[in-house]
């Protein structure tokens, strides 16, 4: 299975700012550490997680770990990089014997072995490749987990979001909240009526909190989940809901402070540098731009409360003590 490359996220190469993605046509810097992806079978995924990567016995770039089913998100220390951009390159199979750690095939370079035209890398030493996540939109997000998600928007709105953070949408198929997806392809389709030249995909860090699965039309909690103690509503892929004709996974996060922009996953070339610089400035001076700061806690049930949605409190019918409807138990003084 071929996985479309969406750019490297620089983790720490001593030269770039965090949260800024390199585009697939840009050569990885020597000694950089990048986020990349690897597609494999479920059986092989189990072995890789347990024992780590092993070199492939061969391939268009010789032995190594090919980075470009189950999709792993990886941290890759690329070391010294050799560009291989034409068929029968003199170092196509020997780069690892010439002091290079990684071979890089840029996108659309014309190699016959890469008919898709997508970027590809081969890392000689498997110890340079570490699994940091599994990208699988069909898995239910775990309560209190932190996930990488995506949000598609216009260029103008992208500027506002990076500078000021997200705002709740007034409505939608899951009610108020910030609509995001773990499926990058889903985000790339939005805004639906916009020209591709006016579409930006933001990569996000999302603290999902308590998650409610909404998987049927007219679900009894489709619009009220946020008032029932849930932080995020999750629509699984291919669940048959009429409001999601694409069948792609979708999430709605009620509190915008749970969503933080970490990088620009996709943007028109004309605004990419501008948005990256805005993000660098925002990350240096977080302010209110999705800072993920502390939220209020209900004094009775001790659970987090959501923006503009305080918990429902009422007196106990027996003793008159105030109780929260989300409390797991209440010991009534009148019955003791």
Q: What is the mean pLDDT of each run of 10 residues along the chain (336 residues)?
A: 35 35 52 63 68 69 53 75 89 90 83 75 85 58 76 94 91 92 89 92 91 93 93 90 88 94 91 90 67 58 62 76 76 65
Give CA–CA dist 292/267, Å, rounded.
Answer: 24
| Angle of CA points 127, 129, 133, to nearest 5° | 135
Give the per-residue pLDDT at 218. Answer: 92
CATH top-level class of 8-135? alpha beta
Label residue 172 exposed, middle or buried (CB < 10 Å: 0-12, 13-18, 19+): middle
| Angle of CA points 234, 265, 47, to nearest 5° | 70
Two domains, one topology: 8-135 and 146-284: yes
> What architecture (CATH level 2) is domain 146-284?
Alpha-Beta Complex (3.90)
Closest CA to 135 of 203, 191, 66, 213: 203
Give the per-residue pLDDT at 18. Answer: 38
Q: Does the predicted model carry a pTM greater than 0.85?
A: no
Give the per-residue pLDDT at 280. Answer: 86
Give the per-residue pLDDT at 16. Answer: 36
Give the per-residue pLDDT at 13. Answer: 33
Closest CA to 75 of 11, 136, 122: 11
Q: What values do phi and psi take at 233, rounded to 5?
A: -105, 135
CB 98 within 8 A of CB 82: yes
Q: What values do phi and psi take at 156, rounded to 5?
A: -60, -45
Query: Domain residue spans in the chain?
Result: 8-135, 146-284, 297-336
Give CA–CA dist 309/213, Å, rounded.
Answer: 20
Q: What values do phi and psi take at 47, rounded to 5?
A: -70, -40
Q: Is 150 left (phi over 0), alpha (psi -120 to 50) or beta?
A: beta
């Amino acid at each position: 299975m071929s996985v479309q490359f969406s750019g490297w996220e620089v983790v720490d190469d001593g030269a770039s700012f965090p949260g800024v993605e390199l585009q697939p046509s840009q050569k990885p810097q020597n000694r950089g550490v990048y986020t990349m992806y690897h597609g494999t079978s479920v059986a092989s995924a189990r072995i890789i997680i347990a024992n780590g990567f092993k070199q492939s016995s061969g391939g268009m770039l010789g032995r190594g770990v090919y980075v470009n089913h189950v999709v792993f998100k990886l941290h890759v220390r690329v070391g010294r990089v050799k560009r291989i951009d034409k068929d029968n390159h003199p170092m196509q199979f020997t780069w690892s014997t010439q002091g290079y750690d990684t071979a890089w095939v840029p996108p659309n370079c014309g190699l016959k072995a890469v008919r898709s035209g997508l970027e590809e890398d081969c890392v000689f030493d498997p110890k340079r490749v570490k699994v940091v996540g599994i990208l699988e939109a069909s898995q239910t997000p775990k309560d209190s987990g932190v996930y990488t998600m995506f949000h598609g928007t216009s260029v103008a709105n992208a500027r506002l979001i990076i500078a000021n953070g997200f705002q709740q949408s007034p409505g939608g198929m899951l009610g108020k909240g910030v609509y995001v997806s773990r499926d990058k392809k889903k985000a790339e389709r939005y805004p639906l009526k916009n020209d591709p030249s006016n579409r930006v995909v933001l990569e996000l860090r999302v603290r999902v909190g308590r998650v409610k699965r909404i998987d049927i039309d007219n679900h009894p909690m489709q619009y009220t989940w946020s008032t029932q103690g849930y932080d995020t509503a999750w629509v699984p892929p291919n669940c048959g809901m009429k409001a999601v004709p694409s069948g792609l996974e979708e999430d709605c996060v009620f509190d915008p402070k749970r969503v933080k922009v970490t990088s620009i996953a996709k943007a028109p070339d004309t605004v990419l540098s501008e948005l990256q610089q805005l993000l660098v400035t925002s990350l240096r001076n977080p302010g209110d731009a999705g800072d993920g700061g502390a939220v209020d806690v209900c004094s009775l049930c001790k659970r987090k409360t959501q923006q503009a949605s305080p918990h429902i409190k009422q007196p106990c019918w027996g003793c008159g003590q105030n109780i929260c409807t989300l409390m797991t138990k209440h010991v009534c003084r009148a019955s003791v």
